[in-house]
Structure 1
């Protein structure tokens, strides 16, 4: 068996994830945090990764539960531990995988919050007038139009290289999870917003070249260390836009715009496989949640408006009683 020190397992595992699978930075950071927590718990038991048995992993999950951690957090931590030991087994660091038969906490299936078409229209309209100057307003419009037109993940949007926009203006090349590329069609409004922003962005970059300042490869450059608009800044920005739009900010996140893209497409008759491709889902089961969202919304509409439904009957009788007074 390989005798490298167990203390180096986390760094070896993360390096392999980055090199072989092209794991995103956020994914690697999450793995690192979860595995360091597990390592810290083991240290308090005077145990190391190479000595862990199935009982240890199960006791760690009980510990996580006692800490009051959400089911989703416990499930994610178990997943990280399982991935680590699968790696250790494949690399010969262990002759077995102590976590392979452990099942995690059952997750509560929560349907994503849904924004109506009218609410999205208000958000897009608000973006056109929100910002300190013309440059900010044009950029904000482009961000919102692209997000709703493509269903991109927020990390894909803010980190979009400008080179991805230089080809066919009707399509956008997106680099997704695991380094997988996909082409997504753009709506006319998104094309117009992007063309205007690129023109303004390129003028600004030309000025920087003339002043011998460094230029950016990103569509949405910023002075942040990443070189582009950060996920956190865009999250705050979309909340600010929702306030201006008169849409409940608790309903509005970059991810709910991604949900709106998928749900509205499905409601319009789009094929589930096509939506899966555009969202960059590896498994269609992930995409199928939008059919449940649509079914729930349709059920609400029936209960609200069908003449034989209890809700509609109450409303009708209330109206009759009021008319009779």
Structure 2
């Protein structure tokens, strides 16, 4: 546990980014874990976040590497420290910024895992048939159709309000990272699946209210503390449906379906900036990783049209 002084600093930082940047709860928890871990490591060596020097922070990062921590995790830890110390320096609680000149390991720019259109079709077909009763099957069909049709993040999907799908809208309003809203077009299969699920959902909600229960604002209500299906439960559901579809569950996750959404759009000729908007990426550089799917198309274009490539 961080000492009292570090805890106050961390709390002040988290309150500031929550107020200024509208950081989501999961983002705040991640920052808190990263900074708490660094504080504990420093405390074991008689140091604190308040007194840490650049050498201390570099030693901490070397220790993480020695423990075998993944490069992406180390990069995230350093990013948390850099933002924390930038805040402390800007607020005047530290005269210097010990993290300013530290270069991190960076993130490996791996090509995202994806699925073919045929594999996605198999997954959607199995989702429609997966469940012990018609209501569960309708819910699962709606979850998978929306995820693939709109390229949603898991938290965006499970946290959708039911009002967002009323009236079979052609566009879906999504509240993304940092509280930013975006509009995403819905396919006809997704709209149909949503309409069928809403019928089952509303019947269940009416029965619940008749028993004195409280109505839910969520499209996918659940009895847990969050009031809706959790990300963990949906992640497990995706694995179940993948296995039923004859796909390796290790290859399939909600994020892979989001990648498939972007990959298939780009392969079909969609503009990269349009995909950036649909995915809710703040930086086009994040979206550019999907350009790997253009390789085969560009090669075929050259071979078909370049004069020196012709027989």
TM-score (norm 2): 0.92
Q: Does 1:55 align with 2:55?
A: yes
Decide whether the 8 Å contact of 2:109 with 2:289 is kept in 1.
no
Q: Could you tell me how far 1:16 is from its partner in structure 2?
A: 1.6
Determine the structure 1 residue equivalent to 2:86.
86
Decide whether the 8 Å contact of 1:263 with 1:294 is kept in 2.
no
Counting matched residue pairs gives 298
Q: Could you tell me how far 1:167 is from its partner in structure 2?
A: 6.0
Determine the structure 2 residue equivalent to 1:235.
235
Q: Does 1:199 align with 2:199?
A: yes
Determine the structure 1 residue equivalent to 2:31.
31
Decide whether the 8 Å contact of 1:123 with 1:241 is kept in 2.
yes
Q: Could you tell me how far 1:23 is from its partner in structure 2?
A: 1.1
Determine the structure 1 residue equivalent to 2:303.
none
Determine the structure 1 residue equivalent to 2:254.
254
Q: Could you tell me how far 1:114 is from its partner in structure 2?
A: 1.7
Determine the structure 1 residue equivalent to 2:40.
40
Decide whether the 8 Å contact of 2:138 with 2:196 is kept in 1.
yes
Determine the structure 1 residue equivalent to 2:145.
145
Distance in 2 (CA, whole Å) between partners of 1:184 and 1:144 is 15
1:141-180 correspondence runs (5 A) = 141-166=141-166, 169-180=169-180
Q: Which shifted more, 21-30 or 32-41? A: 21-30
Determine the structure 2 residue equivalent to 1:73.
73
Distance in 2 (CA, whole Å) between partners of 1:152 and 1:145 is 11
Q: Could you tell me how far 1:47 is from its partner in structure 2?
A: 1.1
Decide whether the 8 Å contact of 1:112 with 1:293 is kept in 2.
no
Q: Deviations over 1:209-263 (max 9, x none)?
A: 2222111111000112111000010011001001111122111100000000000
TM-score (norm 1): 0.88
Q: Deviations over 1:171-222 (max 9, x none)?
A: 1110000000001000000000011111211122122222221111110001
Q: Which shifted more, 73-82 or 85-94? A: 85-94
Q: Deviations over 1:15-43 (max 9, x none)?
A: 22222211112211111111111001110
Radius of gyration: which is bigger?
A: 1
Distance in 1 (CA, whole Å) between partners of 2:9 and 2:293 is 41
5+ unaligned residues in a row in structure 1: which ranges?
303-325
Determine the structure 2 residue equivalent to 1:305.
none
Q: Deviations over 1:86-108 (max 9, x none)?
A: 11112221122110121101332
5+ unaligned residues in a row in structure 2: which ranges?
301-311
| RMSD of aligned alpha carbons | 1.8
Q: Hey, which bits of structure 1, 4+ residues long, moved more than 4 A?
A: none
1:127-146 correspondence runs (5 A) = 127-146=127-146
Q: Deviations over 1:55-106 (max 9, x none)?
A: 1111111111111101011101001111110111122211221101211013
Q: Could you tell me how far 1:116 is from its partner in structure 2?
A: 0.2
Determine the structure 2 residue equivalent to 1:284.
284
